[in-house]
């Protein structure tokens, strides 16, 4: 086992990450319920530029849940490895899908249910094999890690590649390739998670009575976090405006989580002391979550009908129905005579004589 067998702080971070997914997933349902109530009342919709939702208490309850969820997610990075906290964010999608089918009467097809099961299984595997990151208990140790040559090279590569995507690839391929703007969000997002991790450590020191506000690193991390989040929001909105949400969401989740795992492995040395079975378990759990999210989003609007079954199953289904119909038309074998009747026998003899006469 990875970090799960270590310090109690790991379980605190795990609990905060799970609570964050529950609150964020539920916030979408509360906001949607509030908007639907306004629509039934004939009020101006948000998509048409209306702001009547500001007078709806359900919408404010959803916003409050969103704030609580984001705060719990922020705090989780201070206790648990980022390689664990970030993939568990996929559970908010699962919570939202399940609650929407229950309270909003939105259909969750067979693909979505299989995707939910895969997400739960993948999250469980990742928790069991979660990596053990190096202990970072102060801003001084965080500053030492930020000076590591490996992380500096990684940060420079992220910034250079993001600038190339924004100014070179964006004008040429941004309107036709979903990877351009999503890659910008994912690469910059890996740096924002590092900033969140450092600010979480600063808050822990602040609550313990240390003079953190006099440390310049905390303020630098805060400014970098604001810049990174602004860039993420800008280019994520561009991607959502150009491409379908069912395409952007799984692609963004995969690329963002992969970038965060790479950054955490370089900055916090999470994979340095892991044994082979934990490495395989972590990667397998992540890929299982990716498969579940893909099924949940890519086939969300596709109804599951028997026509989607493989051909050999469809053939078997057709043969079975045909046999049932033929059984309904004919009588049971118990009521049929075992020997042919005399009429049938004489009729067959006459037919044979006629055939012999024609041959002659």
CA atoms within 13 A on the CB side of 21: 22
Model pLDDT, residue 317: 53
Considering the domain architecture, whether residues 185 and 234 belong to the same structural domain is answered as yes
The band of 194, judged by pLDDT with boundaries at 50, 70 and 90, is confident
The band of 42, judged by pLDDT with boundaries at 50, 70 and 90, is low
**Residue from 293, 190, 192, 191 nearest 248 by CA:** 293
Domain assignment present for residue 82? The answer is yes
Domain assignment present for residue 5? The answer is no
Model pLDDT, residue 344: 46
Token couple for 225 = 């976090």
Considering the domain architecture, whether residues 252 and 166 belong to the same structural domain is answered as yes
Share of the chain above pLDDT 70, in %: 71
Instruction: Reply yes or no on whether the pLDDT at 335 is more than 50.
Output: no
Domain assignment present for residue 72? The answer is yes
Condensed to tens digits (0 to 9), the pLDDT of residues 275-304 reads 788 888 888 888 888 888 788 776 766 666
Considering the domain architecture, whether residues 61 and 182 belong to the same structural domain is answered as no
Considering the domain architecture, whether residues 140 and 250 belong to the same structural domain is answered as yes
Considering the domain architecture, whether residues 139 and 259 belong to the same structural domain is answered as yes
Considering the domain architecture, whether residues 89 and 194 belong to the same structural domain is answered as no
Considering the domain architecture, whether residues 44 and 84 belong to the same structural domain is answered as yes
CA distance linking residue 196 with residue 267, whole number of Å: 13
Over residues 195-218, mean pLDDT? 82
Instruction: Reply yes or no on whether the pLDDT at 148 is more than 80.
Output: yes
Model pLDDT, residue 178: 83
Domain assignment present for residue 162? The answer is yes
* Cα angle 149-155-159, degrees, rounded to a multiple of 5: 145
Instruction: Reply yes or no on whether the pLDDT at 328 is more than 90.
Output: no
Last residue of a domain, one of 215, 246, 273: 273
Considering the domain architecture, whether residues 154 and 237 belong to the same structural domain is answered as yes
The band of 161, judged by pLDDT with boundaries at 50, 70 and 90, is very high
Over residues 212-219, mean pLDDT? 83
Q: How many domains does the chain have?
A: 2
Over residues 318-337, mean pLDDT? 49
Share of the chain above pLDDT 90, in %: 7
Instruction: Reply yes or no on whether the pLDDT at 99 is more than 70.
Output: yes
Over residues 239-244, mean pLDDT? 74
Last residue of a domain, one of 241, 273, 305: 273
Considering the domain architecture, whether residues 144 and 216 belong to the same structural domain is answered as yes
Domain assignment present for residue 337? The answer is no
Q: Give 117 or 5, the one with higher predicted confidence.
A: 117
Domain assignment present for residue 287? The answer is no
Considering the domain architecture, whether residues 193 and 239 belong to the same structural domain is answered as yes
Model pLDDT, residue 170: 86
Considering the domain architecture, whether residues 218 and 269 belong to the same structural domain is answered as yes
Domain assignment present for residue 253? The answer is yes
**First-to-final CA distance of the chain:** 92
Model pLDDT, residue 116: 81
Last residue of a domain, one of 53, 85, 101: 101
The band of 132, judged by pLDDT with boundaries at 50, 70 and 90, is low
Q: Which domain holds residue 35?
A: 10-101
CA distance linking residue 167 with residue 149, whole number of Å: 27
**Residue from 116, 88, 91, 66 nearest 10 by CA:** 88
Instruction: Reply yes or no on whether the pLDDT at 237 is more than 60.
Output: yes
Considering the domain architecture, whether residues 136 and 67 belong to the same structural domain is answered as no
Long-range contacts of the stretch 229-236 (C-beta < 8 A, 24+): 229/192, 231/162, 231/184, 231/185, 231/188, 232/185, 232/188, 232/189, 232/192, 235/166, 235/181, 235/182, 235/184, 235/185, 236/181, 236/182, 236/185
Domain assignment present for residue 342? The answer is no
């Amino acid at each position: 086992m990875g970090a799960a067998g270590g310090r109690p702080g790991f379980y605190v971070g795990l609990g905060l990450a799970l609570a964050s997914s529950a609150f964020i997933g539920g916030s979408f349902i509360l906001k949607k319920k509030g908007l639907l109530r306004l629509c039934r009342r004939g009020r101006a919709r948000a998509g048409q530029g209306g702001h009547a939702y500001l007078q709806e208490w359900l919408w404010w309850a959803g916003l409050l849940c969103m704030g609580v969820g984001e705060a719990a997610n922020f705090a989780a990075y201070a206790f648990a490895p980022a390689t664990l906290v970030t993939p568990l964010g996929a559970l908010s999608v699962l919570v939202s899908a399940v609650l929407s089918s229950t309270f909003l009467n939105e259909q969750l097809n067979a693909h979505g249910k299989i995707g939910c099961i895969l997400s739960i299984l993948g999250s469980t595997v990742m928790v069991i094999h979660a990596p053990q990151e190096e202990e970072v208990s102060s801003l001084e140790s965080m500053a030492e890690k930020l000076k590591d040559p490996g992380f500096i090279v990684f940060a420079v590569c992220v910034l250079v590649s993001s600038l190339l995507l924004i100014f070179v690839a964006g004008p040429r391929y941004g309107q036709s390739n979903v990877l351009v703007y999503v890659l910008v969000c994912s690469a910059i997002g890996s740096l924002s998670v590092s900033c969140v991790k450092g600010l979480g450590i600063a808050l822990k020191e602040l609550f313990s009575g240390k003079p953190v506000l006099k440390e310049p690193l905390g303020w630098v991390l805060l400014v970098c976090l604001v810049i990174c989040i602004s860039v993420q929001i800008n280019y994520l909105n561009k991607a959502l405006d150009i491409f379908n949400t069912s395409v952007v969401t799984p692609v963004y989740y995969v690329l963002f989580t992969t970038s965060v795992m790479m950054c955490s492995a370089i900055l916090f040395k999470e994979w340095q002391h892991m044994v082979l079975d934990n490495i395989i378990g972590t990667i397998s759990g992540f890929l299982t979550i990716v498969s579940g999210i893909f099924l949940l989003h890519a086939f969300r609007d596709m109804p599951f009908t028997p026509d989607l079954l493989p051909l050999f199953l469809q053939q078997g289904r057709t043969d079975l129905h045909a046999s049932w119909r033929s059984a309904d038309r004919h009588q049971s074998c118990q009521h049929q005579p075992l020997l042919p009747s005399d009429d049938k026998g004489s009729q067959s003899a006459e037919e044979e004589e006629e055939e012999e006469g024609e041959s002659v």
